[in-house]
Structure 1
């Protein structure tokens, strides 16, 4: 059962996203959500993707505001490539809050060895 849990923990993030980025590692536990999230991605070259579609930074706030009005409780996940400029990731998060969205999370990969610790 533990093996299945680890397989699902590793496979689930791959099923949610489509833009390839190298996520930073963290020892924090996974957040559980019941609603499908809106995923924003900042690639290594600073390009922004809403779900899997590229979007200009100027249009991002308006698009997020429309999504928030459709479902105010839906969470937003921000995926930033580990080599993306930190300021660009923060600018994207600022645009999320400008859209009125308060449920924002950063996505990262689990550090090696933390899956066994979390399963105990």
Structure 2
């Protein structure tokens, strides 16, 4: 037996035999893959968390106290069977309608148009009025109907 060696073949410096290279084995843990996986999971969680909250189907109770404080603004646009146009129950021409709708859009771009059209009004006339409203800057149009 040589001086400085144990019977198991290890050196006096401890551990395993160093061999010809003279380098000790690396005993640190590489955390880079762990950090990469954690960041990917964090991004997935951040993206999916809002989607999970909105996917819950609830039948919420109804109450008059829960109504919003400010009611949405709307303009009433009506067309009778003769094809006459009424804006807020006032007769108006097509040119004046475009100007008044532009003013309504300037006052509030989220203003809704409640369109009431007689059954006898041709579809083309209704689409024409929708186009005038869209060119004026109002894109929210609701069709008003009656129950049978």
Q: Which range, TM-score by smaller chain?
A: 0.5 to 0.7
Which of structures 1 and 2 has the larger relative contact order (alpha carbons within 8 angstroms, sep 6+)?
A: 1
> 1:117 matched to which residue of 2?
none
8 Å contact kept, 2:73–2:110? no
Match of 1:116 in 2: none
Per-residue CA deviations over 1:61-119 (Å, capped at 9, x if unaligned) read: 111010111122221111000111221111111100010111111111123xxxxxxxx
Q: How does the TM-score come out when normalised to structure 2?
A: 0.50
4+ residue runs over 4 A deviation: none
Give the superposed CA RMSD. Answer: 1.6
CA distance in 1, matches of 2:128, 2:145: 18
Aligned 1:23-62 pairs, distance under 5 A? 34-62=71-99
Matched, 1:71 2:108: yes
Select the structure of larger CA radius of gyration.
2
Q: How many positions carry a matched residue from both structures? A: 79
Task: Could you tell me which runs of 5 or more consecutive residues in structure 1 were left unpaired when the two chains were aligned.
Answer: 1-32, 112-120
Which secondary structure does the structure 1 equivalent of 2:121 belong to? coil
Corresponding residue SS for 1:110: coil
Shift of 1:36: 3.7
Q: TM-score, structure 1 length as denominator?
A: 0.61
